[in-house]
Amino acid sequence: MDLKLSSVSHYYGDTQVLRDISLDIPSGQIVCIVGPSGCGKSTLLRMLGGLERPSEGKVLQLGDAPAGCLNPLTYIFQDFALLPWRTVHGNVALVLEDHGLSRKERDAIIADVLARTKLTDFADALPKQLSGGMKQRVAIARALAVNPAVMLMDEPLSALDSQTRELLMDDLVALWTRQPFTAVYVTHNLAEAVRLGHKIVVLSRRPGKLREVVELDMPLAERHHGDPALEAQQQHLWGLMRDEAAAADAELIDG
């Protein structure tokens, strides 16, 4: 299933937050969205997920969800959103309830996603026993369990320290390389965008408009921290964003 935004604009009251955004999210790709604070990145993600309707324009879902998909659009948040009283296994099991699956089918899915996220040995642990990076791996396992058409990721690594972020980026690349998934990935972090994005969408400051869409051809598995080609892309992105980010920052302070 592909997602498509067609001339999307959005207002909150009199304030326009998004202006005339048209964008394709092709199946099997990770599309990163970057832009200064308050430019409407999370709003755009909520529209893709159907949580909000745009004031103008359309959000289209084209084609069928993958076989065995229990929930076509699944979120992953910065704060993990795990239930503290449920184990790792129990947190993943939650999203498989009410789908008419047998216990055997449920357990097979849970075993698969825990193996893919390297959590098999932690199935019985509670969230409070886990590091931040492991908690986010549980959230990723939970998202994968429903075999979504598109994962909507809102700053998924920004609550983590830089080493953990690096490790989780490696994990996401390994997961995608073994079995490509489709994701829209909102981030402030340009290093994450150039490591994970097949396409990087740069928004201007509010009202967010499409500033540029950068396509990166280098296979994800070949992208490494400090790679000169990626650093150059990151510089290019920063060049696009610097003035906008400074202006957005000044606006927040004034406002």
Ligand X SMILES: Nc1ncnc2c1ncn2[C@@H]1O[C@H](COP(=O)(O)OP(=O)(O)OP(=O)(O)O)[C@@H](O)[C@H]1O
Binding site for ligand X (CB under 6 A): 12, 17, 35, 37-43, 206
Nearer to ligand X among residue 12 and residue 238 (C-beta)? 12
Q: How far is the CB of 16 from ligand X (least distance, A)?
A: 9
Residue 36 CA to chain centroid, in angstroms? Answer: 17
Least distance CB 8 / ligand X (angstroms): 13
Closest approach, Cβ 17 to ligand X, in A, equals 4
Residue with tokens 């001339």: 7
Q: Kindly state the smallest distance separating residue 61's Cβ from ligand X, in Å.
A: 21
Q: Provide, rounded to whole angstroms, the least separation between the CB of residue 39 and ligand X.
A: 4
Return the number of the residue (16 or 164) whose C-beta is nearest ligand X.
Answer: 16
By beta-carbon proximity to ligand X, the closer residue of 2 and 249 is: 249
Q: Residue 199: name the closest of 183, 188, 222, 180 by CA.
A: 183
Q: Rank residues 91 and 204 by Cβ distance to ligand X and give the closer one.
A: 204
Question: To the nearest whole angstrom, how small is the minimum distance from the Cβ of residue 40 to ligand X?
Answer: 4
Given the complex with ligand X, which of 17 and 173 has the nearer CB atom? 17
Alpha carbon of residue 229 to chain centroid: 23
Nearer to ligand X among residue 6 and residue 37 (C-beta): 37
C-alpha to C-alpha distance for 135 and 154, rounded to whole angstroms: 15
Phi, psi of 205 (to 5 degrees): -70, 170
Run of H or E residues at 164: helix 162-178
For ligand X, give the closer residue by CB, 38 or 180: 38
Q: Are 230 and 196 in contact (CB under 8 A)?
A: no
Q: In what order do the strands lie in the sheet with 15-25?
A: 15-25, 2-12, 56-62
Q: What is the spatial distance between Cα 113 and Cα 44, in angstroms, rounded to a whole number?
A: 28
d(CA 34, CA 185): 9
What burial class does residue 12 get, using C-beta atoms within 10 Å of its C-beta: 0-12 exposed, 13-18 middle, 19+ buried?
A: exposed
Least spacing, CB of residue 15 vs ligand X, in Å: 7
Provide the Cα torsion 49, 51, 55, 56; round to 10°: 20
The encoded tokens of residue 22 equal 């048209």
